[in-house]
Amino acid sequence: MKGGTAILRKVLTESGWVQGIPAADPRVTAFKGIPFAASAAGENRWRAPQPAPPWDGIRKCFEFGPIAMQEIPGGNPNDIYTREWHVDGTVPMSEDCLQLNIWTNAKSADEKLPVMIWIYGGGLMVGYPSEMEMDGECIARRGVILVSINYRVNVFGFLAHPALTAEAPDAPTNFGHLDQQAGIRWVKRNIAAFGGDPDNITIFGQSAGGGSCEIQLCSPQNAGLFRRAVIHSGGGLLPPSSLSPRLSEAEKQGERLFKALGVKTLEEARRVDAQTLWNVAVASGSFEWGTVIGDAFLPDTPANIIGRGEENDADLVIGNTGDEFLFSPSVDSEEALEEYARRKFADCADEYLAIVRKGAKSPDDIKKNATYNNFEMGNMLWLDLNARKPKHTMYFYRFDPDIPGWDDPGAFHSSDLWFAFETLAKCWRPFTGKHYDLARQMCNYWTNFARSGDPNGDDADGTPMEKWEPYTADTRKVMLFSDRPRLQTAEQSEFFRFLQQSCESGRISFRSLNAFNSEKELR
């Protein structure tokens, strides 16, 4: 009897052998729950990720590892994300969560396939790589290895405290981002054994995961770690750039937390039960957790680092959905509008009022005139800054198809995930053929970009897809993903141009323009 085609199911990593499981398509192998670092419990709580201990024998990587400590997924049945994908409230949760997952269709270790590393979103408060929409099989079927990384969130990932700074001045906070970095470094060291090319890595993520990609791009510790990034709804030069506290400010919050916990030392805090810690630090609503500015990992805000052109070299795809985080002033009178304008726009208030009042016959008209997509604003600031002094090849997209369903959600924040991973068949929404076509082509663009830095290529039937041109000062091209991919010129309203020009000139600060009050809102 003749032997069949070899499929890569067992791999030797730096810590030991791992065995994967056939995906739904048996030509793809999924390795789930591979430790890339040691448990973050006990003495490793609030420490930079430590090396994963070795194991004997073959580790069966057939199931996802525990998710990071957070609120129980799916607890609110009225939440759109509960309806969308937080379907299992019994998913294991633990501080021993620093594991990653790999999907590969390599048949041997010498194939040098391109690699995409996924960083999930959730406002740096929740989220996990085993969410059902993030399945890597369709990406792997295209000859691109997909890796998804787990990382610490909320207080477990982003506490700062003077005792931590004294203990580890080079890594006093931002543990969740350091987890992401450690996962990328693990991939760099080990992915060749899975058939991947360690010199052809693309990181990508959405929401706080997209912002995390931007932060990894800006860390001076990451030079040469990856070649490209795809940033879904990361906020560009607005969130998280204009929200994050400085280290000294974050340390003061850490001191308040210790008082709330009734502990005086770091050792005592590390002994607090994980659920008790979460109840006091997160569930109480008394504290906010997220990226901290001013440590060795992230010495300045991403906006400042990018503004000075100091970010790492990488080609970029950035974009946003059409209906996410649309912001307009919550005012119900002319007096309230005047007060809002003077407070938020200061010396630009008269110009702001003239634009938003133009042609308006009612307060609703004014709100409509003053509405903008906060994330698209941040992306355009980044795109136009780069267009004036090109450092990266940048591709811009707007995701704005009709999303079906009884809730009539529009192109809501995160709706593009079903399409980028081509996992629509898992969703409850009544998607039709045009949606499946769009998802297939989006996944094509993403994997083409990961392969070569150029998203263009042929569709599955051999016909060329719509040509996607980079965003430049002369062309200002945006790929609109609506009923189908269509390349357009990025047009802007008078109000949008006013906001952008005022922000670029320094008349309006990034923080003032930001529609959000805290990291907690970016979920």
Q: Which residues pair with 487 in a beta bridge?
A: 479
Using an 8 Å Cβ cutoff, are 348 and 508 in contact?
yes
pTM score of the predicted model: 0.94
| Whole-number pLDDT of residue 521 | 39
Which burial class, exposed, middle or buried, applies to 41 when counting CB atoms under 10 A from its CB (0-12, 13-18, 19+)? middle
How is the chain split into domains, by residue range?
101-327+374-491, 334-368
Cβ pair 290, 243 in contact under 8 A: yes
CA distances from 326 to 319, 374, 492, 493 (A): 15, 6, 15, 14
CA separation for the pair 142, 191 (Å, rounded)? 17
Residue 39 to residue 97: CA distance in whole angstroms: 7
With CA atoms as reference, report the closest residue to 359 among 180, 161, 495. 495
According to the model, what pLDDT value does residue 512 have? 67
Spatial contact of 55 and 15, defined as CB atoms under 8 Å apart: yes
Tell me the one-letter amino acid at 69. Answer: M
Of residues 204, 196, 81, the one with CA closest to residue 148? 204
User: Distance between CA 226 and CA 464 in Å, rounded?
Assistant: 28
In CATH, what number does 101-327+374-491 get? 3.40.50.1820
Half-sphere exposure of 396 (CA within 13 A, CB side): 28
Chain segment 311-334, per-residue pLDDT in tens: 999 999 999 999 998 888 887 788
- Please list, in sequence order, all residues whose beta carbon lies within 8 angstroms of the beta carbon of residue 399, skipping any fewer than 6 positions away: 319, 320, 321, 322, 411, 415, 416, 419, 481
- Check 39, 130, 148, 207 and give the catalytic one: 207
Q: Where are the beta strands (DSSP E) in 109-180?
A: 113-119, 145-149
* Joined tokens for residue 90: 């019994």
Q: Which residues of the chain have pLDDT under 70?
A: 1-5, 239-243, 510-523
Question: Any idea what DSSP says for residue 269?
Answer: H
Query: Using CA atoms, how far apart are residues 218 and 6, in angstroms rounded to an integer?
Result: 41
pLDDT of residue 348: 87
Coil/strand/helix, residue 196: strand
Predicted local confidence at residue 347, as pLDDT: 84
Helix 208-218, helix 175-190: angle, nearest 10: 70
**Spatial separation of the C-alpha atoms in residues 166 and 168, rounded to whole Å:** 6
Neighbours of 114 (CB within 10 A): 22
Please, are residues 116 and 103 in contact by the beta-carbon 8 Å criterion? no
DSSP H/E element including 231: strand 228-232
CA distance linking residue 473 with residue 468, whole number of Å: 16
Can you give the length of the chain in residues? 523
First-to-last C-alpha distance (Å) of the chain: 55
Query: Are the beta carbons of 158 and 124 closer than 8 angstroms?
Result: yes
Residue 421 CB contacts under 8 Å (≥ 6 apart), including other chains: 133, 134, 135, 136, 138, 139, 443
Parallel/antiparallel/unpaired status of strands 99-104 and 145-149:
antiparallel
- C-alpha span between 273 and 278 (Å, rounded): 9
Could you confirm whether 207 is annotated as catalytic? yes
Strand order in the sheet with 10-12: 10-12, 17-19, 58-60
Backbone angles phi, psi at 367, to 5 degrees: -60, -40
Give the model's pLDDT for residue 239.
Answer: 62
Distance between CA 270 and CA 45 in Å, rounded?
6
CB within 8 A of 183, min separation 6: which ones?
A: 36, 37, 98, 100, 117, 147, 149, 150, 151
The SS3 call for residue 507 is coil
CA distance 97 to 62: 15
H or E segment to which residue 477 belongs: strand 477-481
Amino acid at 102: I
Q: What is the pLDDT of residue 522?
A: 40
Which two three-digit tokens encode residue 398?
A: 């707007």
pLDDT value at position 346?
82
Looking at residue 68, the DSSP 8-state letter turns out to be P
